Each structure stands twice: as C-alpha cells, then as structure tokens.
Amino acid sequence: MRDLTDVMADSRDARATSLDGLRPGESEVAGLTARVRRRRVVRHTVEAAVTLPVVAAIAIGGWMLMGDRTGPPPVTTPTPSPTSTEPSPSPSPEETPAPEIVLGDPITEPGLPPYYPMPLGLLDRTGPGWVLGTYAPRAFDVDFSRWGLPETEVVFLVSPEGVRFEAARFDLATVDGTGTTWTEHELVSWQAGARTAVVQAVVYTVVTSSGTEDVEPGGLMTLDLLTGVVAPTVGDPPSDLGVLNSRGDLRLGTGAVTEVGTGTVLGSLDGETASGWCEPVAWWTADSILATCVDDDGYNLDIPHLELNPRLVTFDMAQLASGEGVILRPLAEGEQLPMLWGSDQVSDGVVVVQATTLTPGVLAAADCPSGVYLLTGETTERLPASDSHPDVELNIFEADAIGRTVYVESTGGCSGGARPSILTSYDLDDATFIELIGPPPRDGQAEYRWIQGLTSYVVGE
C-alpha cells in the first residue's frame, strides 16, 4: 500500500513538472521586490572578544580640521593611560595642534556593548572608515520559547579602531500602547563628517502566536545624529536589485547582467548553460563576472557538491550571452566553493566571498558557508572574520569591500538559530583585524539569551 507522505510528495512533484516554465512576470517580480525589505537574522556569539579599557583617549588631528580626509582619522587605540601621546598622522608645522578628547569610563548597559557618550565636536571630524550602526538588542524570553521584543534602539558611531559612541537612541516600547508594534531605523547612507544620515523606517508588528512578524518598510528619513530627531525626506528606498560594476554602468542581479539606465539584459545564467549550472559570485572585472558552475542542478539533486565537479568560471558579456565561460580553475576536496550572496569585488581579479569547504558526502543543498575568503585566480585566503568567535559557529558572512578594507558581518542562521552578528574590519594591506560592533555581552544568565544586537550599518563615504 502506498505511503501517504510519499504520495503527497509525488503529487507535488508531478504538479511542479506540469508547471515547468511557469514564472512570475517581470512586473510581478518588480512588484514583489518593491514590497520587500529583507531583514536579517543574526547569530549568537559570546561576549565581545575585544573589550574597551577603562580609560581611552582620542586625539583628533588638526589635519582633519584642514579638510584632509584621505584616510581614517587618528583615533588612538584605547590605552590605559588617561591621555594619548600618539601623534596625529602627517601633521605639518603650520597645522593647529591636535585637540584631545579624554574619555572616562565606558558605559555598560544590559544588551549593549560598552560605549562612550559622543563628545561634542567628534561627529564633524569623522572621516572615511568611521561607521554608523543601529543596535536593537533582543533576547529570548525566560523559557526560550520565543523572542522577546526589542525595547531600545541605539545608533552607534564607531571609530575605525572600534571605539563606540552613542549618537542617538530610540525608545521602541513607546511607539504605541500595544507592545506589539514598533519602528526601527535601517541605515541607508551617511557621508562621513555629516551631521545627518539617511535611514529607512521599518514598522514591525507581532502576529500573535503565529511565530511571525509583519514587516512594513516605510519611507526614507533623515536622522539628525546630534539630536536624534528623524524627519521625512525625499527619495526612494534602496533596492536590492543587484550590484554595480566598478564603472557603475552594469548591474549584476540574480544571474543576469543589465545595463544601467536602459535595463537591457546583456546575459543571464538562468538555468543550465553551456558551462553547466552556474551561479554568479561577484564582478571579476568591470566587464566580466565570476561564477561557480556544476554539472547538474545541485539544489534539486541528492548529490554531494564534490560529485558535481564544481569549478570557478568567468564570463565576459559575450560569453554570458552564449553561456560559454572560461574555467578559471576546478575546485577539489578541501578547497572553497563560493556561495551565493555576501560577496564583493576588491579589485580586478580579487573578490571576497563567503564559501563552503568542499567535503566528501556533503550534499549541495545542505552546505553552509565555512568562512569568508579572499579569492584570486590562483589563491584562496581565509580571512579572520571566519573565526572571530571560535567557540560559536558562524556560517553566514556578508562582505563589503571599500578600498582595501573588507567589512564583514558574520552571523549564523544557515543552520541553527538566530543570534547576534558581529561587524569586523580587516585591512588587506597591513592585516589589521578589528571588531567594530560585537554582540550583546553576557548578562549573568546561565545560558546566552541574546539573539540580536546589530541590525544595520553603513561605512562613512
């Protein structure tokens, strides 16, 4: 006698086969995208590995006052001494002596990493490399049965050395009287040194007992980082429709490259191609993309990744149109196979990717990223963000390369539960690795309960 579960599954498969080729139209996809703002599941980690000393000092060089913002401002690494004697970089004899801001003890508060009040005058002296991050700590309820609600959202201003300052704060609990609806703010853009940042309001509503939250993206707003006041602004919310090349004239979306402005599709990796079943990774040059290709559709097959002969393949626009790319190199056991999303181009032929380490027997559909890597045509280098908390499994890595600095938000959720994420920076030239924003510290409970801290960030332009 047939098994009901098998029969139902076979029925679904048969129906799916009969619907093969059914696709939502372009306008429908655009409509769906417009309704969606993806939020992030974040990942557990332990107490921040980098702790701030009791006293720190920041020396702000006169060079900043003179408008030289070619590099990050000279914030000293926190030291136990009450003042810093670090010289500011490249001062000239004519420059104003560097004013110093002496910080006292960092503030510790449940759910927040240690931080300092923002000193007057600091904001307008920030430069590229400074970061804004929104932080809305959230924890399981006492019996770990469901998420508690966030009560506070803090906007941190973070120096390139990882010193955090509170720029603004929102009391989420007072948004309405129900306790089930609140508005958070996602950072969209910020010009380093500017007093205001652009944020997008996002309204959350708990659907009682369903295990879900309705999320309604709102419009863009201007956040005054000195007063914490938000005001509506003009403009469209950002779109997740793809990544621009270095020239800004081509856009890499889900498998397809389109011309900016005209929307003309130059090529696509949709479905099977002459190079196999391929998925885009990142821009390889301004005119070519890097992709991974396998022999069959791994997602629909109960086949280990390694048996699908994974390889790195590049496609220029003509090759993309024909589907026939150039194999950069095959990937063998123990090597890293880049996974979708979270990748970024550093320079021509150099990308930072999240990737899985190819292991015999691991099914293509069951793989999770094992780390974040710097990948070239010949080499693959594991970056320290992969192991920023070695006793916690991090398995989602979203990289953002700005110049020669790689920012990585490391989190979990590919397998396992939601936990706070960690924002780190890594300088590719001097191999400096810094935790910029960590998870909520332990709060004395026997078991780590925090599931969310960092919710969005932008690097000052």
Pull the structure tokens for residue 277. 């079943």
Nearest distance from residue 183's CB to other proteins, in Å?
Answer: 14
Nearer to other proteins, 98 or 396 (CB): 396
Nearer to other proteins, 337 or 434 (CB): 337
Nearer to other proteins, 92 or 178 (CB): 178
Residue-wise DSSP of 71-122: S---PPPP-SSSS--PPPSS--TTSPPPPEEEE-SPEEETTEEEEEEPPTTT
Nearest distance from residue 151's CB to other proteins, in Å?
Answer: 17
* Residue-wise burial string across 33-42, b where 16 or more C-beta atoms lie within 10 A, e elsewhere: eeeebebbbb
- Distance, in Å, from the CA atom of 244 to the CA atom of 282, rounded to the nearest integer, reads 10
Nearest distance from residue 219's CB to other proteins, in Å?
Answer: 16
Nearer to other proteins, 68 or 279 (CB): 279
Nearer to other proteins, 269 or 346 (CB): 269
Nearest distance from residue 144's CB to other proteins, in Å?
Answer: 4
Q: Rounded to 5 degrees, what angle do the CA atoms 231, 165, 101 make?
A: 120
Nearer to other proteins, 130 or 277 (CB): 277
Nearest distance from residue 460's CB to other proteins, in Å?
Answer: 24
Residue-wise DSSP of 431-455: --EEEEE-PPPP-S-SS--EEEEEE
Nearest distance from residue 333's CB to other proteins, in Å?
Answer: 20
Residue-wise DSSP of 229-270: -EEE-SSPPP--S-EE-TTSSEEE-SSEEEETTT--EEEE--
